[in-house]
Amino acid sequence: MSRSDLVSSAPGVDLRKIQRLFGTGGPLVALVVLVAFFSLASSTFFTLGNGSSLLTQLSILLVVAIGLTFVIILGSLDLSIEGVMASSSLVFVLLAANDRNDSDLGFLAVIAGVLTGSLFGLLNGVLHVHLKIPSFMVTLGTGAIGIGIATVLFGGRAPRLMDDSLRDLGFGSLGGIPKLAIIAVIVLTIALLVQRFTRVGRYGYAIGGDEQVMKLSGVNINRYKVLSFVLTGTASGIAGVMAALQLGVGDVTIGGGYLFTAITAVVLGGTALVGGIGGVGRTLVGAAIITVLANGLILIGVNPYVQVAVQGLVIVLAVAVTGWSLRKRVRAIK
Amino acid sequence: MRIQNNWTKRALGIMAISALTVGLAACSSASDEQNVPGGGAESTGEVALVQGIRSLSNSYHANWAEGGDLFGASIGQDVVVLSDEGDSQKQLSLVKGLAAKGQVFALNIDPNTSSDTEAIVRAVTEAGGYVVTQWNKPADLNPWDVSDNWVAHISFDGTGSGTEVSQALFDDMGGEGGIIAIQGILDNVPAKQRFAGLQAALEANPGIELLDDQTANWSRTEALAVTQTLLAKHGDKVKGVWAANDEMALGALEALKAAGLAGKIPVIGFDAVPQALEEIQSGENRYVATVSTDPWWQGAAGLSLAYQAASGAIDVSKLTHEQRAFYAQQTVVTTENVTDFLAAPSAEAIQVDIDDPFARIVSAIN
């Protein structure tokens, strides 16, 4: 929604710059079409109240998907997202003021939760690069470890977050904008900067495009691969903490469903699973499409029994139509 | 309880040797005389009391085990707890391990999945023990088709309690206004039963309007998003939130908090998870009610039933089909009775259900 405003209202914006940031226009057009359709079909879609709930629903998915973009650009995959979110949410809640123990570390607990994610990312990267195990196998395993650790910490019932100022980050808003969305925007900005101006961001494309060329140029690609996994893990850690802030508990199932939705968001935005093409800006578009679709279908009253099927259908259509020009490059399995 | 479990394993090792000689004979003779209730009990003196649950680390099964202990205390015996940690293979091998002890046992078990039930009840039949199963069994397999050693199967129908708990929500709303319903996974049996219960309550309350129903797949996270969207869609018309389980109700409550509506709009759920019980007790956020199967009852009455069959107090072959496969009563938990569900019942309170394990039959499972 905000993206369409940006396109139409910002004067003198170079169209190519937008394209470079948000993709070749296809997904963006799909998003605009969906927003236009739902605005016409439902009187509540384009309201302040629904705008704020759209932003909240977008925030956590966006953070997860942004992180995932970094490894997908490498041509790798991170399937540990849900396990990492589970662990980091529990580490965070158990270190902040909670109803299980006397800990009350405040903001330090947030950092501990996020760092839990970074550690998982480091583990993923090191195992993948040095043991030469395919990334989806490594991360499938570490994801299970994450769920396991979370189950032990969970101990039969969800610990509740009792720190009111932290809780306010989860459901409070600032000038009508949910605080969670503000966190997501900060993460997005940092990710855009990392992708644009750092080596790990720029080399990622080259590694995903052709690893051998990079190796022959004398670049220590292993280092940048591990760093990319750390970025993804950190984003999952942030998402786990955000989910705990939002729900007020640490929970083993807190990341449930985010993995598949995040992969969909990344691919829908136009990042190729084979690596080398894409970016976090495009992921924003992909995540927005999914969020708008889930919200809009409920608003226009589509029967819940067929909603999932309709969602799938629209996603397939969107990918087919918008990715037509890319159809040779997005194929992960030939 | 874990010590007892380890003790069981060690004891099993020692007894395995003697079982080779005595046990084999006992097993074969027990299956010969399986139609004679308590046949094996007199020969070895005491009936071993055994609970089969998933894990003591979740409050539901911990309460179930506590109920079993209350029954054990009532007849002055210890109860062995077998916890399978959600592993069907482990569950079956633990049950088969009981047979090796050569002692008649009464087992009250929560099979992991429907497909595990048959293997468990057949293993118990072969061993000459007596078993009561709860929750899961294949629809076309009934205790009377297998043996008298499978004493009974107990489950719960969400329709009746669904109507009752919906009524509690409507009463809190003053019998008027719109509600939104958050469903479980749409093709799950409890999800269907609970929603049918809601619809029955809606028919009896013409002042209540169901504005919308959406699924959140039993998930707290999804329920939060769905509730937010439905609040945006229906605005002030939403006067109550119905959720098919407590997890989703708690997610919906977070959405209400974010919208500044917590405490203004009543919420109900099912399952009686600890956090929901605390919300009901505090009353602060108008979490009006939930539904409990009463895990203490499941532990005590189920074990009592298996024991009565094993000791000969009940003649299994004379029980009706309704007594051998029944839906048991569930309880709607509100502020009035919430304290009963936060801690174990007293020995006197549960004695009624120990004496008559059939007291809570609602209907036969057909």
Inter-chain CB proximity B219 and A257 less than 8 Å? yes
Instruction: Name the residue of chain B whose CA is nearest to A244's CA.
Output: B221
What are the sequence ranges of the domains in chain B?
2-156+295-327, 158-292
B168/B290 Cα distance (integer angstroms): 9
Q: Give me chain A's average pLDDT, please.
A: 88
Q: What is the pLDDT of residue A24?
A: 62
Q: Output the pLDDT for position B42.
A: 41
Report pLDDT digits (tens) over A77-86. Answer: 999 999 999 9
Q: Do A247 and B213 touch (CB under 8 A)?
A: no
Same fold? B2-156+295-327, B158-292 = yes
Q: B83 touching A, CB under 8 A?
A: no
Which CATH number applies to B2-156+295-327: 1.10.10.410, 3.40.50.2300, 3.90.580.10, 2.30.110.10? 3.40.50.2300
Cβ contact (<8 Å) for A298 and B230?
A: yes
CB contact under 8 A, A248 and B225: no
β-pair partners for B79: B49
Own/partner pairs, A106-112, CB within 8 angstroms, 24+ separation: A106/A163, A106/A165, A106/A166, A107/A166, A109/A163, A109/A166, A110/A166, A110/A241
Those residues of chain A that have pLDDT short of 70 are 1-16, 18-25, 321-334
Which residues of chain A neighbour B55 with C-beta distances below 8 Å? 156
pLDDT at B201 over 60: yes
CB contact under 8 A, B220 and A253: yes
CA-based nearest distance A65→chain B, Å:
17
Residue A178 burial class via C-beta count within 10 angstroms: exposed 0-12, middle 13-18, buried 19 and up: buried
Contact A299 B229 (CB under 8 A): yes
Mutate to test the interface with A, among B233, B254, B284 (most CBs of A within 10 A): B233
CATH match for B158-292 among 3.40.1790.10, 3.40.50.2300, 1.10.150.20, 3.30.2040.10 = 3.40.50.2300
- Identify the closest residue of chain A to B254 by CA–CA distance: A247
B145-197 pLDDT, tens per residue? 999 999 999 999 889 999 999 999 999 999 999 999 999 988 888 899 999 99
Cβ-defined contact of B233 to A247 (cutoff 8 Å): no
- Write down the pLDDT at residue A180: 95
CA-to-CA separations, A203 to A130, A219, B152, B346, in angstroms, rounded:
19, 9, 66, 68
Distance from CA of B252 to the nearest CA of A (A): 9
Closest Cα in chain B, distance from residue A329 (Å):
34
Average confidence score pLDDT of chain B: 87
| Neighbour order of strands in the sheet with B361-364 | B79-83, B48-53, B105-109, B130-134, B150-155, B325-328, B361-364
Q: Encode pLDDT of B100-112 as tens digits.
A: 888 899 999 999 8
Residue B136 has pLDDT above 90, yes or no: no
A287: how many CB neighbours lie within 10 A of its CB? Answer: 29
Tell me which chain B residue has its CA closest to the CA of residue A304. Answer: B214
Looking at chain A, which residue has its C-alpha nearest residue B182?
A304
Whether the complex's predicted ipTM is more than 0.90 is answered with: no
pLDDT value at position B22?
A: 38
Cβ contacts of A82 on chain B, cutoff 8 Å: none
Q: Min CA distance, B224 vs chain A (Å)?
A: 8
Q: What are the extents of the domains in chain A?
A: 2-7+21-326
Given a contact cutoff of 8 angstroms between Cβ atoms, the answer to whether A85 and B221 are in contact is no
Chain A positions touching B62 (Cβ under 8 A) are: 156
- Return the CATH fold of A2-7+21-326: ABC transporter involved in vitamin B12 uptake, BtuC (1.10.3470)
